Homo-oligomer: A and B are copies of this chain.
Amino acid sequence: MGTLHRGKQSVAFDQHPAILASSAIAGKKEQEGPLSAYFDYVSSDTKFKQKSWEKAECKIQELALDTARRKAGIQNQEIDALYAGDLLNQCISSSFAIRDTGVPFFGLYGACSTMAESLCLAGMAVNSGYARIAAAMTSSHFASAERQYRFPLNYGGQRPPTAQWTVTGSGCVLLGQREAGPFLNAATIGTVVDYGIKDANNMGAAMAPAAYHTLRAHFDDLRLTPADYDLIVTGDLGMTGKEILMDLFRRDGVSIGGVYNDCGTMIYDLEKQDVHAGGSGCGCGAVVLCGYILRQMAKGKLKHVLFCGTGALLSPLSTQQGESIPSICHAVSIGVERR
């Protein structure tokens, strides 16, 4: 049996799982941003007609899975494995969203790296024949996250400039074997990186070193350079984290600025939408990938994209106990061609 392991942290998808379909569901604030044309469904009702924000977040995962399935023309019974997780305690958005589907389910917790983590694992499942079709999914919701991680919304707490705005949205990708792309070509699995940042209102700074470590490993393990991609995109570093990541590479004498962007700075108009350092949350990377990026690939405007999900693995309790913020970044190489 051959090995698919590469270097320190990477794997090769030698069977190149294909993206059969993807979906992006978003909320009101995301609709008001520059990427509104790329979402499959948007609602101006923050509760998506449900009784609570948590039930709303569950609902948007249901919508994401249904929409992706409809686009691919497949039934729930055809999905052999679904990998999903979210930010809510005990990941209830995911578990409750899929409880009536009968789809074999692996629950994940990767904080905001979950879109990339689930893609890595779903890619592995399809690449090796554990699943004929596998799904990768995640979500976040501004209001459910805010009251769980920070303050009741009514409190009206002031936010520092480094704070980010949790995206209300869900993305789902269906993978299978197909002649047409885009394809998953490789992935780099993240390690937990902790530079000692303790400010839960500056998660970009906490996550940027994790992104740096994973990107370095990706280039080293697979003998690639930033120039091998037309877009390297992190999930939700925001303005602060984006600057730090570019600076970390600059110290190595590597410029990534020409091909690098961050979903958290792409999803909102940072000048006009009062989101401070940008978007965050599992849904941020998910809807930018599943909505905007994959559509650009379908149009041929992007050929090879390195999608890097970034997650801050803190909890309110770990912060209360004086802990720093360990972070992780998983990277998935997606191409319109196999390579």
Enumerate chain A interface residues (CB-CB to B < 8 A): 1-5, 8-9, 11, 15, 51-52, 54-55, 80-81, 85, 87-92, 95-96, 98-111, 117, 120-121, 124-125, 127-132, 148, 189-194, 313-318, 321, 323, 326, 328
Contact = CB atoms under 8 A, between A and B. Distances in A.
A11 B130 CA distance: 6
Contact of A80 (B5, B107, B315): B5
Given A5-B131, A95-B326, 4 more contacts: A1-B15, A9-B80, A9-B104, A87-B90
B104 A90 contact: no
A103 B191 contact: yes
Contacts of A125: 124
Contacts of A81: 189
Given A92-B317, A95-B313, A108 B105 contact: no
B106 A121 contact: yes
Nearest to A193: B99
Contacts of A315: 88-90, 92
A109 B91 contact: yes
Contacts of A108: 106-109
A65 B125 CA distance: 26
Interface of A is mostly: loop
A96 B192 CA distance: 8
Nearest to A214: B104
Contacts of A15: 1
Contact of A326 (B85, B99, B103, B117): B99
A328 B107 contact: yes
Listed residue (A11, A52, A89) with the most chain B CB atoms within 10 angstroms of its CB: A89
Contacts of A96: 313, 318, 323, 326
Contacts of A91: 109, 313
B4 A321 contact: no
B105 A189 contact: yes
A316 B89 contact: yes
The 7 closest A-B pairs by CB, nearest first: A104-B189, A128-B128, A90-B315, A95-B313, A3-B129, A109-B109, A99-B192
Contacts of A100: 194
Nearest to A187: B130
A101 B89 CA distance: 25
